[in-house]
Amino acid sequence: MHGATRAGHVLAIGLLAGIASWPGATAAPRMDDREALRFSQAAIGRTVGGYEFTSSAGARLTLEQLRGRPVVLSLVYTSCFHVCSGLTLRLRETVKVAQDALGEGSFAVVTVGFDTPNDTPERMRQYAHERGANLADWHFASTDAETLGRLARDVGFTYFASTKGFDHITQTTIIDGAGRVVLQVYGEDFAPPLVVEPLKKLVWGGNLDRGTLEGLVNTVKLFCTIYDPSSGRYRFDYSLIVNILAGGLALGIAAAGILAALRNVR
């Protein structure tokens, strides 16, 4: 069960509301999908605080520790077996693709449980294990209600307790190395490039120093690593380099011909 049936299947704008059993939940206002989308988009450009969580291993985790590289952030609740679970499974496959293309350690992923009384570190650990999401640099975390409320406001995440669980926007938030929200990806069924392409730009294109060898290499990586839908993976396209070199050679030959012609005229 999920809130999309109540909202008239709002797939047209990429929103899905997740509802599952949550003991003790009380009725709340219905989520306004347009307002939720507006609230979410308003977060773009906002700097997210260095919030403190408890990881699924029981260790202290802060967003401040992850500064300097992009962070992919999702908010779920562990008793949501349809929408939230689908989001995490999709994100798992996308993270694999991104790590293969960009390299492990180039970005981090954080999934926070927003059902704060129930999404304990143990529940988050079990949730990750059941979905095969125990990947490098992916942190499943718990927090208190006050911290969660402030985090939700920072990243534009709307959620309401309902008689059946929660009604919430389903979004994946991409945060840059300085802690700024740069993109929201909506829904539980998105194509990997929607997440990997912005990560490519943040990892390789954010601070390209074209005066150095590393900067030149990153420039080539940024423009020549492309998504192959047939394999569901990114690959390095050497043909782009060949075409660029061929184009440069052709321009050089043309320029030489023009100069020779000008000399003959003179």
pLDDT at 3: 43
DSSP code of residue 179: S
Q: Which residues contact 95 (CB under 8 A, 6 or more apart)?
A: 72, 109, 133, 135, 138
For the chain of 266 residues, list the mean pLDDT of each consecutive stretch of 10.
36 37 43 91 96 97 96 97 95 95 92 97 98 96 97 96 88 97 95 93 70 57 66 64 52 63 65
Determine the Cα angle at 8 with ends 6 and 12, to 5°: 135
pLDDT value at residue 12: 33
Query: What is residue 27's predicted lDDT score, i.e. its pLDDT?
Result: 42
Structural domains of the chain sorted by starting position, each given as residue range(s) with its CATH number in brackets:
10-189 (3.40.30.10), 213-265 (no CATH)
Token code pair at residue 2: 């999920």
CA nearest neighbour of 107 among 188, 173, 161:
173
Characterize the bridge pairing of strands 165-168 and 171-175: unpaired
pLDDT value at residue 18: 37
Q: Tell me what pLDDT residue 137 has.
A: 96
**Helix, strand or coil, per DSSP, at residue 38:** helix
